[in-house]
């Protein structure tokens, strides 16, 4: 199966994903991750990069879209990414 994805920025050793949001707080970001599947997206990015020999850490920069434009910097822990990878494996097997 052909899959594609695009990081907002790919730096040496770090992939950056920029998200705009109403609330960049840790609690709100956790809810957004569940709602929009950000951990699954991160796991897919990592798979794609690994195929091309570009293993890296991923970070998400959450920026509020209204003043005062607060910013949060987040990364997914290994346990969260493992769960996301298992879900991807199940979904790909069904497909």
Give the model confidence (pLDDT) of 29-54 as tens digits. 999 999 999 999 999 999 998 888 88
DSSP string, 34-64: HHHTHHHHHHHHHHHHHHTT---EEEEEEEE
pLDDT at position 3 is 83
Q: Residue 86 — very low, low, confident or very high, per pLDDT cuts 50/70/90? A: very high
pLDDT at position 17 is 97
Q: Is the pLDDT of residue 64 over 80?
A: yes
pLDDT at position 54 is 84
Give the pair of three-digit tokens for residue 46: 């990592």
pTM of the complete model: 0.90
**Nearest-CA neighbor of 74 among 31, 23, 20, 16?**
16
């Amino acid at each position: 199966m052909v899959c594609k994805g695009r990081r907002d920025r790919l730096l040496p050793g770090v992939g950056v994903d920029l998200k705009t949001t109403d609330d960049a707080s840790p609690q709100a970001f956790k809810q957004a991750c569940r709602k929009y599947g950000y951990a699954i997206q991160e796991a897919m990015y990592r798979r794609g990069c690994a195929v091309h020999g570009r293993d890296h850490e991923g970070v998400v920069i959450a920026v509020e879209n209204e003043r005062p434009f607060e910013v949060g910097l987040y990364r997914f822990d290994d346990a969260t990414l493992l769960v996301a990878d298992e879900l991807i494996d199940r979904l790909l097997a069904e497909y």
